[in-house]
Structure 1
Amino acid sequence: MKRRVLKIHPDDNLIVALDNLQMGETIELDGIYYPIKENIKAKHKFATLDFAEGDTLIQYGITVGKAINAITRGTAITTDNTRHSSQTYGEDSQAYEWKKPDVSKWQGASFQGIRRENGQVGTANYWLVVPLVFCQNRNVEQMKTALQDALGYSNETHYIDLARTLVNNYQAGSNGGLNSLANSISMPKSLVFPNVDGVKFLTHSAGCGGTREDALALCKLLAGYIHHPNVAGATVFSLGCQNAQMSLLKEELAKLEPNTKTPVLWFEQQAYGEERSMMDAAIKETFKGLTKANTYQREAVPLSALKIGVECGGSDGFSGLSANPLIGRVVDKAVALGGASILGEFPELCGVEQNMLDRCTRPELKSRFSGLMKAYEAHALAAGASFDMNPSPGNIRDGLITDAMKSAGAALKGGAAPVSDVLDYTEVVTQAGLNLLCTPGNDVESTTALAASGANLILFSTGLGTPTGNPIVPVLKISSNSTIAERMPDIIDFDAGSIVTGENTLDVLSNDLFELCLETVSGTYATKAKRLGQDDFIPWKRGVSL
């Protein structure tokens, strides 16, 4: 029989509706009967007892809110009767012991990765084209227009063919070709450089006009992308007078790679004069660089080379029950095999800080995590915001009423491994194990940061459906419920919905998802985001975004 409700932790005084519950029903769970006093939508929570104003609401065994008025047993938890509240935290911690998952199945296993001269291991092979300032976006787009189709990387031929069919049929006097569109099929072009997965063209709105801190952060971010093991080389455009100078980017690259191995081509428009002469040179030199990038081939590398970033976006009331804990199981396997995992989204660790502190392996990590969390919250307050404003309208509509409620489920995607390092925004992972990375909760800003810090695979949970991808790192999308997986099959890579219904277990599905991860990093499975050409890239302006 399908489960209709779930109590996550024995100490909880909230129960999750797994199905729509109707007023007048009586729901039994573990021998206790709960009269349902109003219609409660699936994914939302209801009270297990009568709350008075100021009473604490518990889910996942921790504080997730306070009652702002009386809440009757069997009624829904909403923004009208509940406000955000979270537990306090301190650096004094309880002893933490981690039971590693059984990974004997994968001991000695490998994946097909790409070894770089600097010792890093990539899961893809890209050439990168980046602007140091927004006024070079046009030149980046011009190069994209020139190269993508010519090299066989364009994935937008269907829409081009669709538009051409409409125009041709309209000019021929027909109805615009609407009746024949279903038969229009775009044939993929052969790749000029089959060992190069693509040329990725980044654009952004930064580099000048902001603060010097913003310019430095941008250069650190771009340095992380150029240094990334999935990047064979890069072409950099500069105007010449902006805050984000080429010299600044070169300094940050040198910090990451003192004996630089990654080829970088530099083009400054004010030094060239005429745009066409610069663009001609840039296209020719980039083409030459691609011939070298094409010499890289995949080879067997140990699973300890995995660096998995985790992210959630478009979360719903099931995300913390299925997709997030599933991802947590998978990254724990990677860590147990000697790899690294990266958990960001600091606003979505609100309320679980003490758990993270308990898991820190060194005192200085506790101090750093605590300091970064408090500094982030201070930045947000200075901008007129706070962590409790993090849940989006979609989150709230689908059962995540408070930030602490959202955080309690979101943190599960980091698994249970001890924290081996704590990193600030743009810092690159150097330690195996779980790394905490200070990023905002915004999906794209956070995935952008995960890639810059060295993630060579990103696992992304979603309950409402989001197409987010990354230009250089494969992003696997895991749905929290089967409805969204069926409705948006071109976006979802893996369905975790059967965990909610009880048809499957975390253990079984985590093995399946781990195998899909290995196929992805070996290049035998193309993520849905890659197939859609979803190359999202947004630098974080600190203090502005949650």
Structure 2
Amino acid sequence: MTRFRIMTKNMFLQIDTHDNLIVALQPLAKGNRLRVGRHAIELIDDIPEKHKFALKDLDQGDLAVMYGVIVGRANRPIRCGELITTDNLDHATTEYRETHEPYQWQAPLPYPESSTQFMGIRRPDGKVGTANYWIFVPLVFCSNQELNELKKVLPPALGYGSTSRYAHFTEELVKQIKTKGAPVDPVISLDSFDPQPEPLFPQVDGLRFLTHHMGCGSTPDEAEELVELLANYITHPNTAGATVVSLGCQKAEVKALQAAIVRRDPAATKPVFYYDRQSWAEPVDMLEAIIRQTLISLHQANELSRREPVPVSELVIGVECGGSDGFSGISANPVIGRAMDHLVGKGGSVILAEFPELCGVENEIVSRCAEPELGSRFLELMKSYRKRVQAVGFDFDQNPSPGNIRDGLITDAMKSAGAAKKGGTSPVVDVFDYPGHASKRGLNLLCTPGGDVESTTALAGAGANLIIFSTGLGTPTGNPIVPVLKVSSNSDMARRLEYMIDLDTGPIISGKKSLDKLGAELEKLCVETASGSYRAKAVRLNQEDFIPWKRGMSL
């Protein structure tokens, strides 16, 4: 296992003793003399915080190593103490290899005062939810209009806090124009607005509208994937029931969705109502029928849904990163990984996705697979995905965004080596493709894109009842039905964007807190969020992002 070694008053970090790239934990000036182990280094460039410099001279073609793995190849000679940039380092990884040696792992001892239970919602099918939503699902983009109409009227009328604070602010200014002729009163403030009225059905957390731009004009495989994803959301333990709206002639057919739901819930334990636009003479009649049925269903859901103590092993946590920076892989992601190891040790489940951001650490992951066939399946999915990317003229090395690069993630392999830390160190118990569903306790791998919302959409669909999302630059992404906790990699961003960050792991960089200390804090926050006693910032911000992965061509 990689051991972190911080030297010289937390100025820089050699993550693994085999690394020849060093991370600057604070801005380092040109001319500074540092000692890393037996290496004496004089910096020949200014090294910005989060960026890397060479531990020793590298010739053109030499491999760059971080986290103990290859993360790049020098495209020209790089001098000791030189800043690593996209101009002198290209993406490079090791060749795939399969191993059949048993992976040895021992679960960590529980944290002091670690919780063994949370207050969850036990469903009739045995699954446990961390929230309770009624969802509205369009089978095709043609039905988004109906959902938009319902979204305008239902949440505000039922007290779910959907009245925008900006709408309130605008209304106050309009009143001033009518009475004074100009909106000049400086007393009006957004801070005076409370967007959380008392809901009519307090045991139901809200209504969610899963609008999307798919369902027709696509390949049959893509329509099938959409149906499978929507069935996952409808049968998700955080869903109390669903209203499905279709046009009637779309490729994503109602009968296909019904069959997918039956496969997941043969006993039909959850109410699902279907409305076909083309079967109604007037859309107003259909919408009024939906509103009536929704109120009846919400009343029933409110009576039937209660939280009760359940084992922590019922948690299924999806781990995600977005807007990553040069600290993500040494603070936020290792903290998440440590907490996930503790969850797996208690019998819980973890889902690690974003396969383009596992590029370069494939061999490490294969070595952790509980069965040889899991390693083979993982590599096959990686190869297949990469071929599809290459078929349109791109490759995984183009994954890093300008923001990633600006903040020190120079290659995709460098980004991936840090991103993989979210999965902890436990054995991989299952590997499956989108839009699959996790069925085994332990660490699962789900093939998704690296895009934030496509990946979180897939994680919730795979059964995650909580998502932990690390960010170094600040990303407000949420999910319609699953709480998304934001973990910052650095304290500067956490202070600046406090409204979106739930936990700051920046104290690892400053040396003020340990990995275990922050891991325990994250575990506690997960239990509080799953119990409904803490509202994730993404939920408060109404971040209800839903984007199904479009893998096929439009026809």
TM-score category, normalised to shorter length = over 0.9
**Which residue of structure 1 aligns with residue 123 of structure 2?**
116
Q: Cα distance, 1:29 vs. partner? A: 3.2
Superposed CA deviations along residues 352-404 of structure 1, whole A, max 9, x for unmatched, are 11111111111221221111111111111112221101101100000000000
**Does 1:275 pair with 2:306?**
no
**Which residue of structure 2 aligns with residue 490 of structure 1?**
499
Superposed CA deviations along residues 282-321 of structure 1, whole A, max 9, x for unmatched, are 1111111111111211000011101010000000000000
**Does 1:468 pair with 2:483?**
no
Q: Does structure 2 retain, via aligned residues, the 8 Å contact 1:460–1:475? A: yes
SS at match of 1:325: helix
Q: Does structure 2 retain, via aligned residues, the 8 Å contact 1:165–1:177? A: no
**Which residue of structure 2 aligns with residue 88 of structure 1?**
95
Q: Cα distance, 1:8 vs. partner? A: 0.2
Q: Cα distance, 1:103 vs. partner? A: 1.5
**Which residue of structure 2 aligns with residue 132 of structure 1?**
139
Count of residues in correspondence between the two structures: 544
Give, in whole Å, the separation in 2 of the partners of 1:63 and 1:357: 16
Identity %: 51
**Which residue of structure 2 aligns with residue 501 of structure 1?**
510
SS at match of 2:499: coil
Q: Cα distance, 1:73 vs. partner? A: 0.9
**Aligned-residue CA RMSD (Å):** 1.4
Aligned structure 1 segments of 4 or more residues deviating by more than 4 angstroms: 104-108
Q: Cα distance, 1:34 vs. partner? A: 1.3
Q: Cα distance, 1:36 vs. partner? A: 0.8
Higher mean C-alpha displacement, 95-104 vs 340-349: 95-104
SS at match of 2:197: coil
Give 1:216's match in structure 2, choosing from 224, 230, 245: 224
Superposed CA deviations along residues 405-453 of structure 1, whole A, max 9, x for unmatched, are 0000000000000011111101111100000000100000000000000
**Does 1:189 pair with 2:197?**
yes
AA partner of residue 392 (structure 2): A
Give, in whole Å, the separation in 2 of the partners of 1:27 and 1:495: 29
**Which residue of structure 2 aligns with residue 353 of structure 1?**
362
**Which residue of structure 2 aligns with residue 396 of structure 1?**
405
**Which residue of structure 2 aligns with residue 21 of structure 1?**
28
Check 1:86–1:543 CA distance in 2 against 1; reply closer, same or farther (3 A cut): farther
Q: Does structure 1 retain, via aligned residues, the 8 Å contact 2:490–2:505? A: yes
Give, in whole Å, the separation in 2 of the partners of 1:488 and 1:166: 27
Give, in whole Å, the separation in 2 of the partners of 1:155 and 1:149: 5
Q: Does structure 2 retain, via aligned residues, the 8 Å contact 1:307–1:454? A: yes
**Does 1:99 pair with 2:106?**
yes
**Does 1:59 pair with 2:57?**
no
AA partner of residue 227 (structure 1): T
Q: Does structure 2 retain, via aligned residues, the 8 Å contact 1:423–1:438? A: yes
SS at match of 1:490: helix
Give, in whole Å, the separation in 2 of the partners of 1:23 and 1:116: 61
**Which residue of structure 1 aligns with residue 5 of structure 2?**
none
**Does 1:372 pair with 2:374?**
no
**Which residue of structure 1 aligns with residue 148 of structure 2?**
141
SS at match of 2:460: helix
**Which residue of structure 2 aligns with residue 440 of structure 1?**
449
Give the unaligned 5+ runs of structure 1: none
**Does 1:233 pair with 2:241?**
yes
Q: Does structure 1 retain, via aligned residues, the 8 Å contact 2:222–2:552? A: no
AA partner of residue 42 (structure 1): E
SS at match of 2:189: helix
Check 1:508–1:189 CA distance in 2 against 1; reply closer, same or farther (3 A cut): same
Higher mean C-alpha displacement, 362-371 vs 505-514: 362-371
Q: Cα distance, 1:94 vs. partner? A: 3.6
Q: Cα distance, 1:178 vs. partner? A: 5.1
AA partner of residue 249 (structure 2): C
Q: Cα distance, 1:106 vs. partner? A: 6.3
SS at match of 1:518: helix
Give, in whole Å, the separation in 1 of the partners of 2:171 and 2:38: 65
Give, in whole Å, the separation in 2 of the partners of 1:177 and 1:88: 66
TM-score, length-scaled by structure 2: 0.96
Give, in whole Å, the separation in 2 of the partners of 1:178 and 1:508: 48
AA partner of residue 354 (structure 2): E
Check 1:104–1:497 CA distance in 2 against 1; reply closer, same or farther (3 A cut): closer
SS at match of 1:282: helix
Give the unaligned 5+ runs of structure 2: 1-7
Superposed CA deviations along residues 62-84 of structure 1, whole A, max 9, x for unmatched, are 10000011111111111001110
Q: Cα distance, 1:473 vs. partner? A: 0.5
Q: Cα distance, 1:95 vs. partner? A: 3.2
Check 1:38–1:168 CA distance in 2 against 1; reply closer, same or farther (3 A cut): same
Superposed CA deviations along residues 125-148 of structure 1, whole A, max 9, x for unmatched, are 110011011111110011111101
AA partner of residue 22 (structure 1): A
